[in-house]
């Protein structure tokens, strides 16, 4: 991919890039909607991601191009940059990074040529947005001869998505992309945040089944769940739901409207499942890990209500299949993808049979991706 992005940059801009950076996509392993509630979460950095190449310009123009979209878009070097709409909205991720740099005591780049290239499947819930932010941040910093601690880069990129793009995500996506290590999961305690590597047992395999189905109101539903969690914390009298326990939520049940209780119960139970999953991984007990993954999905299905019939069908099929430890939706939900944790014996043929059963029921075949762990964001 490095040779490819250098060649494509040369073709578009007539010169070689000065800096190339890459950041991986991620699988949300377990910890659904816990991150912005101050909880814990586990993510998998994968061996696919976003590549960004940049070179400085002397005329002050900022020129953006994405291989997926083709045309070069030129913007003036104004700070803060203007938010883009329509076909150019993908640029809000690197522009958000530029807008956030001064807030962390770092200089935004002046004029430059920019190219982004991806080998992540689109719409699969693998957080291409965070990978684009991390790769852009590292490239912009290197272009200006600057460095920053990885924790700062991760928080800067989250701020870009929260305050410029306008998505109220937690630190999961940026943290996993930034702190990834091959053959490890990334554990994040979002209250710090603090980051740690958790070894992955050698017998673990990951499969992604992408439905390409998205609820038309997905952005509004995500924001609604965020508000409901804040309301649950307020009713409990705690700063964040991570400061509550399953027992305190159950004791306070009478205070809650029914849907607010369900949201709170999901989050605090999910935080407990994350802790249990870390212990099971360290013990090499993949059967226990799989049970926790499927329990996480059932909680998303019944309590957080961010699953769909398509995702539920895939989890039902996979959980009943040989050589599958467990399965759950991955990402924000309301459509998207299911992750299965399997043994090496789970085959392409079995995956194809699950996809065929899905197609027979829903009339469209899901994409199937076998994913491996990969390293975190880095200059190339």
Instruction: Tell me the catalytic residues.
Output: 173
Q: Of 90, 24, 105, 128, whose CA–CA distance to 337 is shortest?
A: 128
Output DSSP code: residue 103.
Answer: G
| Pairwise CA distance, residues 116 & 101, whole Å | 19
Helix-strand-coil percent breakdown of the chain, rounded to 5? Answer: 45, 25, 30
Catalogue the long-range contacts made by 166-169 (C-beta closer than 8 Å, 24 or more residues apart): 167/129, 167/219, 167/222, 168/36, 168/222, 168/223, 168/226, 169/35, 169/36
Cis peptide, bond prior to residue 193, ω within 30 of zero: yes
| Pairwise CA distance, residues 379 & 49, whole Å | 13
Tell me which residue has tokens 């080998």.
Answer: 119
Residues in the chain: 380
């Amino acid at each position: 991919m490095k040779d490819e992005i250098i060649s494509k940059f040369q073709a578009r801009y007539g010169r070689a890039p000065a800096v190339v950076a890459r950041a991986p996509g991620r699988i949300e392993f377990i910890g659904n909607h816990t991150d912005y509630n101050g909880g814990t979460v586990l993510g998998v950095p994968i061996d696919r991601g976003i590549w960004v190449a940049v070179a400085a310009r002397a005329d002050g123009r900022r020129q953006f191009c994405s291989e997926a979209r083709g045309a070069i878009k030129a913007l003036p070097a104004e700070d803060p940059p203007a938010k883009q709409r329509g076909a150019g909205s993908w640029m809000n991720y690197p522009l958000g990074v530029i807008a956030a740099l001064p807030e962390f005591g770092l200089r935004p780049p002046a004029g430059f040529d920019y190219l982004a290239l991806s080998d992540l499947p689109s719409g699969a819930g693998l957080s291409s947005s965070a990978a684009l932010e991390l790769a852009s941040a590292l490239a912009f910093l290197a272009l200006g001869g600057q460095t920053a601690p990885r924790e700062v880069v991760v928080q800067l990129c989250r701020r870009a998505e929260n305050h410029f793009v306008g998505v109220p995500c937690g630190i999961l996506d940026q943290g996993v992309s930034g702190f990834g290590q091959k053959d490890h999961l990334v554990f994040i305690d979002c209250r710090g945040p603090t980051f740690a590597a958790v070894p992955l047992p050698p017998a673990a395999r990951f499969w992604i089944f992408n439905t390409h189905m998205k609820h038309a109101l997905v952005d509004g539903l995500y924001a609604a769940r965020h508000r409901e969690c804040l309301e649950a914390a307020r009713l409990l009298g705690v700063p964040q739901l991570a400061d509550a326990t399953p027992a305190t939520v159950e004791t306070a049940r009478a205070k809650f409207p029914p849907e607010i209780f369900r949201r709170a119960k999901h989050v605090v139970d999910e935080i407990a499942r994350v802790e249990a999953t870390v212990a099971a991984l360290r013990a090499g007990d993949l059967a226990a890990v799989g049970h926790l993954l499927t329990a996480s999905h059932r909680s998303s299905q019944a309590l957080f209500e961010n699953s769909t019939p398509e995702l539920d069908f895939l989890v039902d099929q996979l959980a009943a299949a040989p050589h599958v430890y467990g399965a759950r939706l991955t990402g924000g939900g309301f459509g998207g993808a299911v992750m299965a944790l399997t043994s090496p014996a789970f085959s392409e043929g079995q995956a194809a049979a699950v996809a065929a059963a899905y197609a027979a029921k829903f009339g469209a075949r899901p994409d199937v991706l076998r994913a491996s762990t990969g390293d975190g964001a880095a200059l190339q």
